[in-house]
Amino acid sequence: MKDANRDVLDRGSLAELLTQRARQASDLRLVIDAAAGFVVAVLIAILRPPLWVPLAALAFALGAFGAWGILDRESSDPASVTGRRRVMVATRAIVGALGALAALVGGVSLFFGLLGTWIS
């Protein structure tokens, strides 16, 4: 694990680590993450392979990470208009909440999908 990641996790949280990683990523990387995550999530939802719910949710979480990073950069731009900045901050909060929810759904549904059916 990178030393910077270890420092953040030792004194902070996963949210701080993801924020740091998004702010250090290049613009191209964030665009690729957003586009690939959302496209893969849609393809998985259409094709519905085994364990499609956790796979689609985790792909959506990756897309939300990229979109959050892009919105974070745009909202912190000093040249942006105040009204536009408020919209960006609100959208960034919504995307962050949807990404966290998708990661939670992905983890829980993966757990239950791998656990299988219990008959008592």
Please check the confidence at residue 20 and state whether its pLDDT lies above 80: yes
> Could you tell me if residue 120 is inside a domain?
no
pLDDT at 2: 66
Where do runs of H (alpha helix) occur along 1-120? 3-11, 14-24, 27-47, 52-75, 82-115
Domain that holds residue 22: 3-115
Please check the confidence at residue 61 and state whether its pLDDT lies above 90: yes
Which residues fall within 8 angstroms of residue 29, CB to CB, at 6 or more apart?
Answer: 66
pLDDT band at 8 (very low <50, low <70, confident <90, very high): low
65/3 Cα distance (integer angstroms): 22
Mean pLDDT taken over the chain: 89
Average the pLDDT over 51-61 and give the result.
Answer: 96
> Could you tell me if residue 77 is inside a domain?
yes
Q: Tell which residue, 3, 59, 15, has the closest CA to residue 35.
A: 59
> Do residues 34 and 67 lie in contact, with contact meaning Cβ atoms separated by under 8 Å?
yes
pLDDT tens, position by position, 76-108: 877 777 888 889 999 999 999 999 999 999 999
Domain count, the chain: 1
> Do residues 75 and 88 lie in contact, with contact meaning Cβ atoms separated by under 8 Å?
yes
> Could you tell me if residue 76 is inside a domain?
yes
> Could you tell me if residue 11 is inside a domain?
yes
> Could you tell me if residue 99 is inside a domain?
yes
CA distances to 70, 76, 100 from 23, rounded to whole Å, are 9, 11, 17
Q: Which two tokens stand for residue 97?
A: 């909440």
Please check the confidence at residue 115 and state whether its pLDDT lies above 70: yes
Sign for the pseudo-dihedral over CA of 45, 70, 22, 96: negative
